[in-house]
Structure 1
Amino acid sequence: MGEEGRGCSSETTRELQKLKQQAMKYYRENDVPRRLEELLNSTFYLQPADVYGHLNICSVVISTHFEVHEGAAPELADVEEAERASAVSTAVHWVNGPIFQELQGLVPTNQAAVDHLLRIFFANKVQEDKERKELEMSLEDSTGPTPLPPIPPPPPPPPTKRKGQKQGRNDAVSEKPIPPAEPVEPVLCGSMAIGAVSLAVAKTSAILGNNPLYINIALLKHNQEQPSTLTVPLLMVTLVSCGKSSPGKLNLMKELICIPHPELTTKQGVEMLMEIQKNIIKIIETQPPPKPETKKGHDGGKRGQQPITGKMSHFGCLTINYDTIDQPLLLLQGICANLGLELGTNLHLAINCAGHELMDYSKGKYEVMVGTYKSAAEMVDLYVDLINKYPSIIAFIDPFRKEDSEQWDSIYNALGSRCYIIAGTASKSISKLLEHGNINIPKSNGLIIRHTNETTMSDLVEITNLADSKKHIIFGSAEGEASDDSLVDLAVGLGVRFIKLGGLSRGERVTKYNRLLTIEEELVQSGTLGFNEEHTFLYFNEEAEKAAEAPEVLEPLEPTFPTEVVKEPHKTQASFA
């Protein structure tokens, strides 16, 4: 999807058509999943004729912002399908039409100027959309009859006192009403064109300068001064999913994430986690399949889903049937013990709680397991107990809905010096964070950012600069992920602390892990691989730093993973499934 450069010969046009046909053939032959076919493929063409005299082509794939809803009702899936198709077609129109015209004559190496124009273009589109909606509302008001105010229902009768019931018992068990869910942050149809074109310009600039993309992003981050060293983000790898979409009773653990020790290389960490994954597969293959069981109140959401242990999730990890919080944690503990590894030493754990998916609004409580409900205050106690029992857990992602600000404060005060409290879905979009200039709501010490929608390269630099020394940044992939591995270059160039790519399976995720391995090799060969002093789990906030000033200092840890696995020569383009 793109436009021809001006002055191209008919021969060049035929070459472009041939390339497009080859790309279409590739996607058909490789059976690209349906959700990936619906991603925007924004190809941006530039022709610096005075320098090269030929056409340079850059291809970008960017994920849509739509979440993956496993087992959704067909009617809901159809509505989302139509919205996604409209968003993609609008984005394609913008890329091939007005955006192409806006960027004519701009030098592709001037990322800041391109992003500035894209921001103005998007702001104008937002204003147009606002005016259109206001006009539609005014027309409806002028043509439609004025509805009569509804008659208020009669007040409910006072509760009858049961025989033997003590006075004040109801008051004792009543819970503080939960804040209602905030409206979903609107996403302008076609907005992904902005992020796609910005990335396409960055990639084009890298090609013209004969640089890898991560170098260009680092130059943008450091005001065109190339840093002497670059660091590779720490891995956050999803190994198991036991969330609400799983057939077991456990809802709390949407992702059980492993973080290899910071002193391990990326290659060592990946190989260690691959070995753990193999053992998980062996164990669940020897277990009998669970009996079919329908979750209470979720009959419609389970349509067509078979309760099979070991189903591969869209995260690229295994979905396992578990009924308690302890079961997946004990599974990993046992496997690590068999491999000579120790949780809390060789690797640490993080849990994506997906708090917004757990709330049962009819009860005003979180359903952590089927039939087991916890108030927001009780959830704080649950997390504290979990850390006490499993100190190898060093991060909770989205432990609450974003609306429960008091509980975010409570868990941060209780655990902020012992583990990371990370806002993912609970955080606002990058554009909103930059607009308000406040990244401290909800209260947390980590933030997950993603390259989606109208987010430009300059926006990513700005948000990481805003968060530096305030929050740990995790660069994350979208749920409906694309096969473009550019986000790995973005994470390295921006110098974020963690990278969260999902599991070690599915091609769209494997290609990113391979890219991370390649970048690490390139930095080692060039002598520019640095070690971030923050890449340690000893410091979480100022209180922990003061505590760490005690005389006792922990010595650097040597990996105890079997040497024949760790020391094995690495092949750059190795693929793992």
Structure 2
Amino acid sequence: MSNRIDKVIARRVWDSRGNPTVEVEVQTTGGRVGRAIAPAGASRGTREAIDMRDGGKALGGLDVGQAVANVAERIAPALSGLDATDQKAADDAILALDPSALKDRLGGNATVAASLAVAHAGAAAKGEPLWQHLADLSGATPSIPLPEIQIFGGGAHAGRRVDIQDFMVMVPGASTFGEALEITSEVYRAAGSLMERKGRLAGVADEGGWWPVFDHNEEALETLVKAIELAGETPGDRVVISLDIAASEFGKDGRYRLALEDRELGRDEMIRLLGDWLDAYPIASIEDPLAEDDPDGMRAFTAAYGDRVQIIGDDYLVTNSALVRDAATDRACNAVLIKVNQVGTLSEALDCLTTASDRGFGTIVSARSGETEDVSISHMAVGFGARQLKVGSFTRSERMAKWNECLRIGDAIGQDRFVAGAPLADTAWARTYKGAA
């Protein structure tokens, strides 16, 4: 068969932070080629698949020689001769070599690059775009997701200049994906203009959002609302705010240390603080509001606010199907972030997304802070029928490549496949936001 995997090549390439990462190329006997690059996160859950790094002094200990060798010496022989269009068989072969949740034998960077490269090769062998191949695998109806786009970066993505990791906007009131990007661009430019007027324009963070030169965390929210208004929009109307608290980065054992404000909050105080923000600002979605080691806090927050906003588990769920099932039972959140490199293979990521969807969870496919020109996740979001896509900001080519790919896919499948406000239809942000017009 011309779909059989003939050759698997691994190489070291470089990500958006200038750090080494793994690229894998899969060639079939029919001459088709698939290629994919592993992303890397800065804010990482303790239960997610590891990036295997070489350690030592060279390249800050971040080289990936062993991960590349694992692809060449272990993964390549296991994939040889398999049908590139059979993603499950390929991923099962990888998982047979390293079934651990952390992928600590092969490295999650090795497994995810290999798994995604097989998917690209399989699509090429079928003569289909990747999104269609993934839709065939998932059984989902392809759709264009609602973009979630960073305006201010913080936390681990910006030298911890502010405690909150992402201040983002979504445009559920847009009629097309392109319109959502256009409105977001105006908000992004307005935010930069406001920073410049205050003499606080200091470049961009890891994911392209403006560097957060603020005196306290809430000032970023205040500025974001002003930026939405300066862009000619009414906050809480077509444009809403989304936050990634990434509380595991500054919370432990039910205590939360806000370094920017030099204060420590208990679990209940942290929940009250975020609740006050939900009352005061048009926030429609909030990610990891409490730390991954604080399930009581996650349950309490969701009990209080789960009928008002989308509450996403990232570090809390790490794209793990078992953790999603537990969270659904415990009502610890109502949405999951899907990061394929958190779990290590495409099949595992799809299983997690399906598990979440079956339980009524929102599904958001996400990039990492260390990204590349690879656009696989744009195709994943479309082909898996995910409702949202979180890539980073509206600048830097490793981010824009993914937004632009969605525009191209939209031209192929039709702009009427854009989900618009559907991902947030079951939340009540428009009714509960006190400042809404």
CA apart distance, 1:407:
1.4
DSSP-derived class of the 1:452 partner:
helix
Give deviations 1:487-537, integer Å, cap 9, x for gaps: 110111111111100001111111111111111111118xxx435597153
Cα 1:36–1:42 shift into 2, 3 Å: farther
| Aligned equivalents of 2:189, 2:306: Cα separation in 1 | 33
The 5-angstrom pairing of residues 159-238 of structure 1 reads: 187-222=104-139, 229-238=141-150
- Which of 352, 355, 362 is 1:463 aligned to? 352
Give the aligned partner of residue 321 of structure 1.
213
Q: Which residue of 1 aligns with 2:435?
A: none
1:120 to 76, 86, 96: 96
Q: Aligned partners of 1:34, 1:474: CA distance in 2, in Å? A: 22
Give the AA of the match of 1:63.
Answer: P
- Deviation of the 1:354 alpha carbon: 1.5
Q: Report the alpha carbon displacement of residue 341 of structure 1 after superposing the two structures with TM.
A: 0.7
Alpha-carbon distance in 1 for matches of 2:377, 2:423: 23
State the identity as a percent: 20
CA apart distance, 1:234: 0.8
- Take 1:324 and 1:195, find their aligned partners in 2: how far apart are those partners? 38
What is the distance in 1 between the residues matched to 2:215 and 2:365?
Answer: 31
Matched, 1:56 2:38: no
Q: Which AA in structure 2 matches 1:84?
A: L
Equivalenced residue count is: 414
Aligned letter for 2:345?
Answer: T
Alpha-carbon separation, structure 1, partners of 2:144 and 2:304? 30
List aligned pairs for 1:386-401, cutoff 5 A.
Answer: 386-390=277-281, 392-401=282-291
Change (3 A) 1:427 1:83: farther
Please name the residue that 2:78 is paired with: 102
Task: Please state whether the residue corresponding to 1:319 is helix, strand or coil.
Answer: coil
Q: Deviations over 1:538-565 (max 9, x none)?
A: 413xxx7xxx9xxxxxxxxxxxxxxxxx
Q: Give, as a single letter, the amino acid of the residue that structure 1 aligns with 2:151.
A: L
1:433-455 deviations in Å (ceiling 9; x for gaps): 34895343681011111111662
Task: Kindly indicate whether residue 271 of structure 2 is the aligned counterpart of residue 380 of structure 1.
Answer: yes
| Partner SS for 2:414 | helix
Partner Cα separation in structure 2 for residue 266 and residue 494 of structure 1: 17
Question: What SS does structure 2 have at the residue aligned with 1:232?
Answer: coil
Amino acid at match of 2:399: R
Q: Secondary structure at the match of 1:63?
A: coil
Q: Name the residue aligned to 1:445.
A: 334
The reply to whether residue 268 of structure 1 matches residue 179 of structure 2 is yes
The one-letter code matched in structure 1 to 2:168 is I
Distance 1:360 1:112, change over 3 A: closer
Give the C-alpha shift of residue 316 in structure 1.
1.1
Moved more, 374-383 or 323-332: 323-332
Which residues of structure 2 form unaligned runs of 5+?
45-54, 432-437
Q: Note the C-alpha offset of 1:60.
A: 1.4
Q: Is 1:480 the counterpart of 2:370 in the alignment?
A: yes
- Residues 398, 425 of structure 1: 8 Å contact kept: yes
Quick one: structure 1 residues 449 and 36, their matched pair in 2 at CA, closer, same or farther if it must change by over 3 Å? farther
> Could you tell me whether the CA contact under 8 Å between 1:42 and 1:197 is conserved in 2?
yes
The code of the aligned residue for 1:323 comes to D
Contact in 2 for aligned 1:44/1:57 (Cα 8 Å): yes
Q: Which amino acid aligns with 1:191?
A: G
Cross-structure match for 1:40: 22
- Structure 2 residue identity aligned to 1:277: Y
Are the structure 2 counterparts of residues 387 and 80 from structure 1 closer, same or farther at C-alpha, using a change threshold of 3 Å? farther
The 2-side partners of 1:221 and 1:536 are apart by: 19
3-state SS of 2:98 partner: helix
Match of 1:297 in 2: none
1:427-483 C-alpha deviation (Å, 9 max, x unpaired): 2453xx348953436810111111116622221221111111421111111121122
Q: Secondary structure at the match of 1:238?
A: strand
Q: Distance in 2 between matches of 1:186 and 1:320?
A: 34
Question: Cα offset for 1:415?
Answer: 0.6
Q: What do the CA deviations read for 1:390-428 (whole angstroms, capped 9, x no partner)?
A: 2x1011111111112221111111111111111112224
Match of residue 305 from structure 2: 415
Show the counterpart of 1:337.
229
Report the AA paired with residue 449 of structure 1: I
Q: 2:179 is aligned with what amino acid?
A: Q
1:257 aligns to 2:181 (yes or no): no
Please give the secondary structure, in 1, of the residue aligned with 2:386: coil
Query: Hey, which of these two has a bigger chunk of strand by percent?
Result: 2
Cα gap change, 1:38/1:461 in structure 2, threshold over 3 Å: closer, same or farther?
same
How far apart, CA to CA, are the structure 2 residues paired with 1:485 and 1:312?
A: 22
Q: How many angstroms does 1:108 deviate by? A: 1.4
For 1:347, the equivalent position in structure 2 comes to: 239
Partner of 2:47: none
CA, structure 1 residues 454+408, in 2 after alignment: closer, same or farther (shift >3 Å)?
Answer: closer
* Contact 1:246 1:321 (C-alpha < 8 Å) held by counterparts: no
Provide the secondary structure at the position in 2 that maps to 1:42. Answer: strand
| TM-score (ref. length: structure 1) | 0.65
- Counterpart in the other structure of 1:504: 394
The SS at the match of 1:500 is: strand
Contact conserved, 2:208 with 2:395, CA < 8 A, in 1? yes
Amino acid at match of 1:330: E
What SS does the aligned partner of 2:170 have?
strand
Q: Conserved in 2, the CA contact under 8 Å of 1:193 and 1:453?
A: no
Cα distance in structure 2, aligned partners of 1:36 and 1:317: 18
Please give the root-mean-square deviation of Cα atoms over the aligned residues, in Å: 3.3
Partners of 2:318 and 2:193 lie apart in 1 by 40
Which amino acid is the alignment partner of residue 346 of structure 2? M
Q: Distance in 1 between matches of 2:67 and 2:371?
A: 18
Question: Aligned partners of 1:453, 1:413: CA distance in 2, in Å?
Answer: 27
Tell me the residue number matched to 2:409. Answer: 519
1:241 counterpart = 2:153: yes
SS across alignment from 1:474 = strand
Report if aligned partners of 2:24, 2:117 keep a CA contact under 8 Å in 1.
Answer: yes
* 1:250 shift after superposition: 4.2
The structure with more radius of gyration: 1
* Pair 1:487–1:248, CA change in 2 (3 A): closer
Report the TM-score, using the length of structure 2 for normalisation.
0.84
Contact 1:206–1:213 (Cα < 8 Å) also in 2: yes
Q: What CA distance in whole angstroms lies between the structure 2 residues aligned with 1:451 and 1:353?
A: 21
> Retained in 1: the 8 A contact 2:15–2:371?
no
